[in-house]
Structure 1
Amino acid sequence: MSRRTLAGRCYCGAVHYVVADDFAYALNCHCSDCRRTTGSAFKSFAGIARERLTITKGAEDLLIFGEENANNTHCRHCGSLLFSVVREGAYVHVAMGTLIDDPGIRPSAHIFVGSKAPWFTITDDLPQYQGHVVPSDAPPD
C-alpha cells in the first residue's frame, strides 16, 4: 500500500482532493462521452479504489451527473471533470489532468478508438483497442 498521496483540484480551486499514488491502471479513453465531458480528444484517467480518494475542500461544490455508484463528478463552479465513479461504485477514474502532483503511473493503452474524434491522430506506440479493455493487472470486477 502506497504511503504517498497526490493532490488534485479543479480549474477554479473550489474543489481539492487527495488520492493515493497507488493506481491500478491508467488509460486514454476516446469514447464520445469522455470527449464531451472533457471537451478534448480523449480523457486520460487513472483507476483506483473509491475509498483511496478524499475530497479535502469543496465537497459542497461537487456537481454529480449520474447515480451514486456510476457518475461523472465535476466542480459546480468551473465544470472541471474531477473523476468518474465506475465499476458499481467500487472505483474512481481520476481525470489525470486535474492532478497537481506527478503520479507514478502512465496510461498504458488507448480505448474506444473506434469512436475517436476524426480530427485527432494517435501518434504514440501505445496499444489501441476499438472498445473497452480491462488491463491485465487490474483487479477483477
Structure 2
Amino acid sequence: MAHKSNFTGDPNAHPISKFSNSMTGSCLCGSISVTIHDSELFSKPRGHLCHCANCRKVSGSFVSANMAIEKEKVTYEDKSGMIKTYEDYDTGSGNCMKRLFCGNCGSPIMSQPEIFPNMYIVKMGMFPRIPQPECESFAAHRHEWQGKHDGLEQYAFVRGQKKLGEE
C-alpha cells in the first residue's frame, strides 16, 4: 500500500481562497473525483448536517455532512470504473435515493434523490474543506450527547419543513 506523501487532514492547510470558483475532492483510493463548480461555496453557509439513520449508515458516523446542489454544478470522474450504486427505497418518502459509492474503497460519493431529479446530495467528507453548514435535518434524531451547533436552522425531519421544537 502506497503512502501519500502529500497527505494532510488539516483543512487549514487549504486556504478558502483556493476555492473561489470550484473545489475538487476524491474517494479514499482516488479512483473517483468530484468537482463542485460554485463561486459561493465559502461566501455563506452551505449544505447541511443530516441525522437520518440512512445518512448515518452511509457516513459511518453520527451525522453526515451533505450539500444538496444542482446537478449542473457538479462533475465527477470515475477513471477506474469504480462507481457503484445502491438503490435505497427505505426512505421517508418511499421514493428511491440512489446512493453512489466507490466499489474499491467504499467511500460515499453522493446521493441522487428521485424526488429532486435536478439535484445531487454530495457527501462533503471527501473534500479538503467543508463549508459551514446552514442547517441540520432530522435534528429530532440527534443523540442527546451531541453538542448544539449555534446558528444552524434545525429541522425536525425534512429540510425546509417543520423546525425542531415547533408544534
Q: Give the alignment's TM-score, normalised by structure 1.
A: 0.78
Partners of 2:57 and 2:78 lie apart in 1 by: 26
Q: State the match for 2:140 in structure 1.
A: 114
SS across alignment from 1:60:
coil
Partners of 1:116 and 1:38 lie apart in 2 by: 15
Partners of 1:89 and 1:61 lie apart in 2 by: 23
Aligned length: 130
Matched-pair identity in %: 22
Correspondence for 1:70 among 97, 101, 107: 97
Partners of 1:85 and 1:43 lie apart in 2 by: 15
Partners of 1:26 and 1:40 lie apart in 2 by: 17
Partners of 2:24 and 2:106 lie apart in 1 by: 18
Q: State the match for 1:80 in structure 2.
A: 107
Partners of 1:115 and 1:50 lie apart in 2 by: 28
SS across alignment from 1:55:
strand
Computing the radius of gyration from Cα coordinates, the structure with the larger value is: 2
1:39-70 CA-to-partner distances (Å, cap 9, x unmatched) read 10111111211122112343621011118x73
SS across alignment from 1:124:
coil
Q: Give the alignment's TM-score, normalised by structure 2.
A: 0.67
Moved over 4 A (4+): 22-25
Partners of 1:85 and 1:97 lie apart in 2 by: 17
Q: State the match for 2:31 in structure 1.
A: 14
| Unaligned ranges ≥5, structure 1 | 136-141
Tell me by how many angstroms 1:109 deviates. 1.4
1 or 2 for the larger relative contact order (CA 8 Å, sep ≥6)? 1
Correspondence for 1:124 among 136, 145, 149: 149
Asked if the contact 1:70–1:88 (Cα under 8 Å) also holds between the matched residues in 2, the reply is no
Tell me by how many angstroms 1:115 deviates. 2.1
Correspondence for 1:93 among 117, 121, 140: 121
1:67-103 CA-to-partner distances (Å, cap 9, x unmatched) read 8x73111011111111111243210111111113x46
| Unaligned ranges ≥5, structure 2 | 1-19, 89-95, 162-167
